[in-house]
A and B are shown apart, each in its own frame.
Chain A
């Protein structure tokens, strides 16, 4: 299959993303900025009330740093989970991908990567800002190497996130409204993936259970990689798990697509 179009689509998507300057900065300040501000003040209060200097291995500054990287890991890995696929099924926009000699999922994955690049650019702006505000690494092993490894991990887990979202979005072939399912997925990724609080804060039985799901791979794994908490052995093992889950979801997405596209009527506004 020819992939000549990949570079072109990626450039076009990036042009589109960076030409919407307002959206870019609103996402940056209103999204990440608010999230971080809430995390900062909540954890500050928790540490002050409990009088503890460390909770489950995290100092206050370490936890703030965790919140930053968890927020960006989630953002980078989820790329375009904004219901674009389900919307196109609903409004008939899918028709163009059926007409053009263009593979639908690779095309969508390229647009997903473009969003991941935008998230990375925002991370590059936010990290020095936060480090300046916090003043230290809060006992975390954050290095240039771990940072690069973290970004790479985000891009790799982004594929699994893309597949999981796509599988749910394809429900739009049978169901008009799927945004509620997508919200549920985002909530699960936030809670069970370690986006809201580190998984180390969960009771040990819950941590063991969660390991059987793909969620920790989506946020906790890249976040801990950023913070230098993942050994090479654990990183390789997690990558193996990621590959396994990705294969399962690739098959699932393909299975749903083949059935769903037969239902498609191409109607819409």
Chain B
């Protein structure tokens, strides 16, 4: 009798513990590599998904190795909400949309100006999506961007992923992941800043080498500044370089300077060893900030005869560097305070950490206090080496 009971118990355990509930076979899944969000017609949301076609994405060179066509299949659908639009995809998609491999969320700027709260809410509620998914805004149609075959990577979504993964080198946009956006929206008095990309004719076709810009590439193009969940402005070029030390830990950077002896010639200085600090103070009952930025550089390219042994010229270059870095920081601070009136540089957070009691008094008015806060910038640059050469290539 006991043996029979044990046997029955084991049968019950096998049936209930086998874990087949909710199973989905891999060939039933439409794996989204990138998703684009645009404004649809009639106030609706338009969602475009870039879905990988495994049979045609195995080629190492990017050429399809399967029977036909492209390594990705792009599909768009509209709906009243994001979830509604995604469900509408299933009306013509033969597979169930699966978000766990999504690399990028691309939001059109027109959509972002009306608020991205629904985007952040949907993707952070969804247990499938990774919190390390890259988030970006674009002036182009997001549907066009996620459907673009970019050339170097087989899967364009992977191209976007690697673009951000290695963008510490380019220093043209912040590395924004969904978790950063969610965190910025949750924290009081911190405004999100999101990477910006656009489609540019930069690819050179190997079939038509004489024709430059034969096909579009996705390019990092600055950052979108948000106040709350709405996009209020753009940072590009030097402003982004000034913004990045505030929000990220920089590993590299580049400064192009004029040669000391000939202003028409240029020098490239690669930045290393960044030491960036924002120190809050209280002066006469008002918050004030001091930004200290110390950096070391090495000469990586020179169009003029220059050696680091020539200290007066090097000091001249260091002064130029300091001025340029200071101008970058001051320009982005000015934009944050005067133009956008959005504290995306986290001054409030820094003040809160250092002066919690004083912060409690001003936090509700920070939006009106922040534009008038004094920010002093001091930069220190040192050129410490000239890579491999000690003497210039020409005298």
Determine if chain A interacts with chain B: no
- Seen from chain B, the residues whose Cβ lies within 8 Å of a Cβ on chain A are none
- Seen from chain A, the residues whose Cβ lies within 8 Å of a Cβ on chain B are none
